[in-house]
Chains A and B, each alone.
Chain A
Amino acid sequence: MTDRSNLVPIGGIRTPVEGRHHILSVLVENRAGVLARVALLFSRRGYNIYSLAVAPTDDERFSRLTMVVDVETASLEQITKQLHKLINVIKISEVDPSQAVEYECMLATVAAEGHNRAKVMELVELYDGEIVDVGVDQLTLMFALPPGRLDDVEAFLAEFGLVELQRTGRIALGKLPKPVRRTKRGKVS
């Protein structure tokens, strides 16, 4: 078993509880200090963030924050209203987890010596991961998966012995509309 006692929890970041987390996709102006404003708002009003991913969009004037928020301490409505008051926040879309594709990326270095090595490589295969670095008795792996499956991978990797692990926080986009499938009688099946 891995010794994780040296892992220090970061305040406010925990694993989402199903049904209590929401995904907000926040379009902001790409200016200095915007991330600080968002982070400060969450901290001073006592809102919780599970994860946060930030990157520029295709338009260099804007960045997109994808944040998974906890709605236990404050209603989603209050959180979005307060976010909207920030001058640099352009648009907020709430992404319903059941109506979204969610992905998260993970880099993990695991112990992989002797007979373990093959098992690790098998796991990489099964979960469409990639070996991105190779050491004498360790391997560094990369996985990009829906967060739930990534949790599974993390659990497996812990069995082999996790040396180091880094997850990105999830990113999400709403699911696209699908064509309605029709039967021969023209009714929706």
Chain B
Amino acid sequence: MKLTGAQALIKSLEMQGVETIFGLPGGAILPVYDPLLDSPIRHILVRHEQGAGHAAEGYAQATGRPGVAMVTSGPAATNIVTAIADAYVDSIPIVVITGQVATSSIGSDAFQETDTTGITMSVTKHNWLVTSASEIPRVVAEAFHVATSGRPGPVLIDFPKDVANQVMEWYWPKRLDLPGYQPTTKGHPKMIEQAAAIIAGAERPVIYAGGGVMRAGVAGQVLELAERTGIPVVTTLMARGIIPDSHPLALGMPGMHGCYTAVTALQRADLLITLGARFDDRVTGKVDGFAPVAKVIHIDVDPAEVGKVRRADIPIVGDLRSVLPELIRRLPAEQLRIAPWIGEIRGWQQRYPLSYEPSASGRPIKPQYVVERISAAATPDTILVSGVGQHQMWASQYFRFERPNGWINSGGLGTMGFAVPAAIGAKVGRPGSTVWVIDGDGCFQMTAQELVTASAERIPIKVAILNNGYLGMVRQWQEMFYEERYSEVYLSPDLPDYVKWAEAMGGVGFRVEEESEVDPVIEKANQIHDRPVVIDFRVDTFEKVYPMVPAGSTNDEIVLPPHQRGER
């Protein structure tokens, strides 16, 4: 069977089971958009290429399957770099296809030419420049394999225009030839044995679960490990929902804005059972002072993460799907005798729970209250998506996460503007789930044009803007660390008019200024199923995210909210 390169690309994507592509056509990728018309693959036309990338990320996180984005060359390729970098840091499997100028023009500074493979080399797991149509099925198969296996991540295929027009004899590779890529999956039995022994003897152990647990889809085994041993679990920003927040062994989020108990449990622990986490600086604070007396078991599929930041006493390189059952199998049948440790933890939980001071009557709504009410009204299958900043921390702290894969945000890269397009991707991937966005006013303005995409493609996401009229997290730092010298952080709560914006983009807009209106408007939003909804929640400008570990401090120097200070 003879196919053009463009046909071969679309057919290869079909072979990989791709159902949805997020993209935006242009000159160099034009030939590929023609056979797309005859394909069952759904294409979602975004309004900016960055949106295509984040949508693919949201889709991947909501479904566990790789997200696919396709854009043209030059500025389109550079526009999607942010999303690729975001996926790289958060280990999200996406496949990005970029158009490229004809092979004969590469290197000549042709119209809309950029060195896309060069630009994305350090933010992809791997990338390919296709130089002949006969390579296409092989490259696509390799790309999906690399993106989804081992430590997942983004890959990019750069696709010159002339290759799209070449004719090739169709084939599908029977096996992949990647001699330099063989991810370790099985953990070393001796190390697993040692890990089981050290766990059995621990007095103050903590399970430190990170995003890798989510990627591996092993929430069930983490719960089994915790319940079998009685060891409490902290869930990082990327792992919220891995065990239900209502579970007695769930301690919440650690880190710079983690809750007191999770942060302090890590500090006092004598053993960290680290699962798919990478000792990120936002978790450790000053590394030298992090969990100073703890021994570390570090289980990760990426060998380079083990020992990168913190020396591991028991390093285990392997896939959690294989290592966790092996570890659990070797553990003693009864729970650990760690009642004093659990008692200490319960004490912290009682004295320093996550809390904020409710708003006094007639005063502005507290942002945390909005999150709590959205959470209270949410059905169990709700997916929560956030951007980056104060609202993200409040969402992570005050939403009750009861299931895995119900929380999507930009963790490692901290990409403002992530939420709206990522929510679109999530909703497309799981149309049966309600998708709520908790966004900041600053974040929302960065990518809100994708609301047009949501309206046009009938993707009914719900966006709650916690509108405090500021770049809130920056404002908080300037207040606390720059003597209230506010520099370029004021945005105005009224400009733009978010309600009109929502309406102009084909959605429904609400504004909420009184606490009593919060619940009714959330209820109204939950009843709208045919178009996007935006709610402009006017919240307290002066509210800060607490607890907080100041940058450069150890986690022992955690700052509690004002109403909890003084008794420590």
Contact = CB atoms under 8 A, between A and B. Distances in A.
Asked if A and B are interacting partners, one says yes
Interface of A: 28-29, 32-33, 36-37, 40-41, 44, 77-78, 81-82, 84-90
Interface of B: 117-118, 121-122, 125-126, 129, 146, 178-181, 302-304, 307-308
Q: Nearest 6 CB-CB pairs, A to B?
A: A81-B304, A87-B126, A90-B180, A87-B181, A81-B303, A89-B180
B132 to A, nearest CB: 13
A108 to B, nearest CB: 35
Nearest to A62: B179
A87 B303 contact: no
Given A78-B304, A81-B303, A81-B304, A88 B121 contact: no
A41 to B, nearest CB: 8
Given A33-B117, A81-B303, A85-B304, A40 B122 contact: yes
Q: Is the interface of A mostly helix, strand, loop or mixed?
A: helix
A31 to B, nearest CB: 10
A87 B121 contact: no
A37 B129 CA distance: 14
A86 B124 CA distance: 10
Contacts of B146: 87
A78 B125 CA distance: 17
B109 to A, nearest CB: 19
Contact of B180 (A29, A40, A81): A29
Contacts of A90: 179-180
A78 B308 contact: yes
A86 B118 CA distance: 14
Contacts of B308: 78
Given A77-B307, A87-B181, A90-B180, A32 B126 contact: no
B180 A44 contact: no
Contacts of A82: 304
A84 B121 CA distance: 15
Given A29-B179, A29-B180, A40 B121 contact: yes
A36 B303 contact: no
A41 B146 CA distance: 18
B304 A86 contact: no
A33 B158 CA distance: 13
B116 to A, nearest CB: 12
A87 B129 contact: no
Given A32-B129, A84-B304, 5 more contacts: A29-B179, A29-B180, A41-B122, A78-B308, A85-B302
6 contacts: A40-B122, A78-B304, A78-B307, A86-B126, A87-B146, A87-B181
A36 B121 contact: yes
A36 B178 contact: no
A88 to B, nearest CB: 5
Nearest to A82: B304
A27 to B, nearest CB: 9
A121 B143 CA distance: 58
Nearest to B146: A87
Contacts of B179: 29, 90
Nearest to A39: B121
Nearest to B307: A77
Contacts of A40: 121-122
A36 B119 CA distance: 11
Contacts of A85: 125, 302, 304
A86 B304 CA distance: 12
Contacts of A81: 303-304
A87 B183 CA distance: 10
Nearest to A85: B304
B180 A28 contact: yes
Nearest to B127: A33
A84 B303 contact: yes
Nearest to A77: B307
A13 B303 CA distance: 28
A40 B179 CA distance: 21
A90 B181 CA distance: 8
Q: Which of B118, B125, B181 has the most CB of A within 10 A?
A: B181
Contacts of B181: 87
Contacts of A32: 129
A44 B122 contact: yes
A28 B302 CA distance: 20
A87 B147 CA distance: 12
A118 B178 CA distance: 56
Contacts of B178: 87
B311 to A, nearest CB: 10
Nearest to A81: B304
A14 to B, nearest CB: 24
A36 B125 CA distance: 14
A185 B53 CA distance: 75
Contacts of B122: 40-41, 44
A19 to B, nearest CB: 22
Contacts of B118: 33, 36
Contact of A87 (B117, B180, B302, B307): B180
A53 B298 CA distance: 36
Contacts of A33: 117-118, 121, 129
A37 B118 CA distance: 9
A89 to B, nearest CB: 5
Nearest to B118: A36
A28 to B, nearest CB: 7
